[in-house]
Amino acid sequence: MSVTTLDPATFRHVLGHHPTGVAVVAGLDPDGQPVGLTVGTFTSVSLDPPLVGFLPTRESASFAEIRKAGRFTVNVLAHDQEHICRALARPAGTKFDGLDWTPSGNGCPLLPDVVCSIDCELESCTPAGDHYFVTGAVQDLRIHRSAAPLLFFRGGFGSFTGIDREATATR
Ligand SMILES: Cc1cc2nc3c(=O)[nH]c(=O)nc-3n(C[C@H](O)[C@H](O)[C@H](O)COP(=O)(O)O)c2cc1C
């Protein structure tokens, strides 16, 4: 298909065939209240220096607060945390209602029972069409739970049912 005939629905439909993990990027607003958003765009960026990245839409009110604070924690969701994914995908305001969290090493919200978390200082924020490409300099990172991740694929949620990494670790 030529780019000149591309419409948003086709873009979403085709790109939806690429599976992604699901993470919550969380920080604190100036009043110390938790803010955050669900992203499917979290990725590892660089080993030296250690950088990770994600792509928030330019309209994201939650990212605007995170940007002001200059730090965030990435919470990688497990297969049984779809409810957290949905809560943090709501418009800003009531996302954390009913959700437990504790301060991570950088003070940003760490959600319970996530697979792993990555504490970051905001390193760069580059316009990329209607999104930003944000990189974070990794300050700390931890595995909390040996659980299968939550995955998003073709508009629905699922998980990973492939090889057992621990059983094959000696290969
Ligand atoms: C599985 C999933 C993945 C998402 N990935 C992104 C993403 O990578 N970037 C983004 O800006 N929004 C993404 N969203 C939508 C945001 O979570 C949602 O628009 C945002 O939380 C709205 O709140 P805000 O305006 O306060 O930012 C995703 C939503 C879901 C359910």
Tell me whether residue 7 is in a domain. no
34-84 per-position pLDDT tens digit = 999 999 999 999 999 999 999 999 999 999 999 999 999 999 999 999 999
Substitution candidate for ligand 1 out of 22, 43, 60, 95 with most atoms within 8 A of CB: 60
3-state secondary structure the chain: CCHHHCCHHHHHHHHCCCCEECEEEEEECCCCCEEEEEECCCEEEECCCCEEEECCECCCHHHHHHHHHCEEEEEECECCCHHHHHHHCCCCCCCCCCCCCEECCCCCEECCCCCEEEEEEEEEEEEECCEEEEEEEEEEEEECCCCCEEEEECCEEEECCCCCCCCCCCC
User: Is there a domain that residue 162 lies in?
Assistant: no
CATH number of domain containing 60 = 2.30.110.10
Which residues form ligand 1's pocket by a CB distance below 6 Å?
Answer: 22, 37-41, 55-57, 60-63, 85, 88-89, 91-92, 152
Taking residues 5-27, report their average pLDDT.
95
Q: How confident is the model at residue 103 (pLDDT cuts 50, 70, 90)?
A: very high
Please write the tens of the pLDDT for every residue from 112-158: 999 999 999 999 999 999 999 999 999 999 999 999 999 999 999 99
Domain around 53: 21-149
- Specify if 101 maps to a domain: yes
Q: Name the domain count of the chain.
A: 1
Residue 31 pLDDT class (50, 70, 90 cuts): very high
